[in-house]
Amino acid sequence: MLYSLRNAPFMSKLCYAFCGLNVFAIALFFVVMCCESPKHIPSEILLPALCLAAVAGIALGLYLSYRAEFSSLYAIFISPYYVGVLPILMGGSIAAFAFLLAGRPDVRWFAFNTNAFCMLLTIAMGMLLEARALGLLEGRNRWREEIDKYKNKCLSTKIWKGLEVDYIPGISDDFDFWFKNFNLDYLIGSVHLVENNEQLWFIDGPAEGYDDGLKNIFGNDMHLAVKSFYNQTCEMIESQKFDILGHCDKVLMHNRNRFITFDDEFYLRFLKETLMLAKEKNVIVEINTRGIYRKLHNDYYPGKYIFKFLKENAIRVIMSADGHKNDQINLGFEQLQNDLLLSGIHETWLPECMCKNPIPLIQA
Ligand SMILES: [Zn+2]
């Protein structure tokens, strides 16, 4: 997944801001230490500064408790450490600065050194524990081990390991990298970020980002945007090895009939060419229900408008809920099953590692 500060959640940005603030504060300390400073600091500046420091420390602590959701080790050790210690540290830092300005060098040195030492220790400990939680120190991968554990435990249910991988020309890793390094059974290849003139249009995020990207990257030319999306998808099918084509008309997600309609000839030509290429390369086409149950889209990805074409060309399909939580794994399947049957599609397929034969669909 592409990750940059620009795309980071607000709390992450805040965390980065605090880190920057710490570095700045320490640098400022050195400067003031080396120069002659004013002897007195008024309490109307000192008190608000102390309050601000405490608030900043608490906000950082809150961010880290939010992070704890993703790592139990974080929750046990690091979160209370940060929440408890950081407000004191940041308060201490400002207090030391105040003492320095008030001309009490012994206290300022003690406060500054303690603060700097603890701050470094906190950061180093956080990084070490996070790396340990992720299994990086032992060169392990926790999520993979977790799946393997249940794979061996639940003998009544078969479990396979797969990943949905993004294809961004010149940026994303070759799909073989994931197969080799993660010992996977299958891969879903998808496009979420459409490249044009070295800029990326994120089609899977909030609607405002979709509209902004269309305007700034494609000059509101929806035909060019659609063409770029399908060219990138075809390039992925041609150049990468994977089992399932993910949500192949997601470019329409926030379109909502505003910029293009699904019966637009130009649009349909690209979609159909992509589907035929998937068939030729033995890639199964995913019919994805996520847009419907999340109320982000009024149809499947790809929508019912293309089911007839899928049927006529015997293109193999698989039902997918694109679940991000375990209670979403098969959401919308009953309706999808009925819609596929209505279009004359009577079977679905699974990646070859699971089953080589089609799975017959039954009216729900
Ligand atoms: Zn996706």
Segment 341-363 shows an average pLDDT of 93
**CA 162 to ligand 1 centroid distance, Å:** 13
Q: What pLDDT score does 128 carry?
A: 67
User: 124 or 269: whose pLDDT is higher?
Assistant: 269
**CA 297 to ligand 1 centroid distance, Å:** 14
**CA 105 to ligand 1 centroid distance, Å:** 58
Rounded CA gap, 125 and 272, in Å? 53
**CA 126 to ligand 1 centroid distance, Å:** 31
**CA 204 to ligand 1 centroid distance, Å:** 8
**CA 189 to ligand 1 centroid distance, Å:** 8
Phi, psi at 92, each rounded to 5°: -60, -40
Q: What pLDDT score does 286 carry?
A: 98
**CA 247 to ligand 1 centroid distance, Å:** 7
Q: What pLDDT score does 338 carry?
A: 95
Q: Which of 168, 18, 163 is nearest to 89 (CA)?
A: 18
133, two tokens: 């939680």
Ordered by start, the domain boundaries in the chain are: 5-133, 142-360
CA end-to-end span of the chain: 36
Quick: pLDDT tens for 130-176.
Answer: 666 666 666 566 677 778 888 888 888 888 989 999 999 988 989 99
Q: Which of 175, 146, 147 is nearest to 161 (CA)?
A: 147
**CA 328 to ligand 1 centroid distance, Å:** 14
User: 284 or 297: whose pLDDT is higher?
Assistant: 284
Asked if 91 and 54 count as a contact pair (C-beta separation under 8 A), the reply is yes
User: 338 or 74: whose pLDDT is higher?
Assistant: 338
**CA 60 to ligand 1 centroid distance, Å:** 31
User: 205 or 339: whose pLDDT is higher?
Assistant: 339
Q: Look at residue 65 and tell me whether its pLDDT is greater than 80.
A: no
**CA 318 to ligand 1 centroid distance, Å:** 15
**CA 191 to ligand 1 centroid distance, Å:** 7
Segment 62-80 shows an average pLDDT of 56
Q: Which residues contact 191 (CB under 8 A, 6 or more apart)?
A: 166, 167, 168, 203, 229, 232, 233, 236, 250
Element at 209 (helix H, strand E): helix 207-218
Q: What pLDDT score does 19 carry?
A: 59
Looking at every residue in the chain, the average pLDDT score rounds to 80
Three-state SS for 186? Answer: strand
Asked if 30 and 23 count as a contact pair (C-beta separation under 8 A), the reply is no
Which residue type, as a one-letter code, is found at position 72? S
| CA dihedral (215, 226, 209, 192) positive or negative | negative
How many Cβ atoms are within 10 Å of 357's Cβ, its own excluded? 8
* C-alpha 98, offset from chain centre: 42
**CA 101 to ligand 1 centroid distance, Å:** 55
Angle at the Cα of 40 from the Cα atoms of 34 and 45, rounded to 5 degrees = 100
Q: Which residues contact 8 (CB under 8 A, 6 or more apart)?
A: 16
**CA 285 to ligand 1 centroid distance, Å:** 13
**CA 350 to ligand 1 centroid distance, Å:** 18
Segment 91-112 shows an average pLDDT of 64
For the chain, give the percent of residues with pLDDT over 90.
45
Q: Look at residue 43 and tell me whether its pLDDT is greater than 70.
A: no
CATH code matching the domain that covers 142-360, chosen among 3.90.1150.110, 3.20.20.140, 3.20.20.70, 3.30.470.20: 3.20.20.140
**CA 164 to ligand 1 centroid distance, Å:** 7
Q: What pLDDT score does 3 carry?
A: 35
**CA 77 to ligand 1 centroid distance, Å:** 34
Segment 202-211 shows an average pLDDT of 90
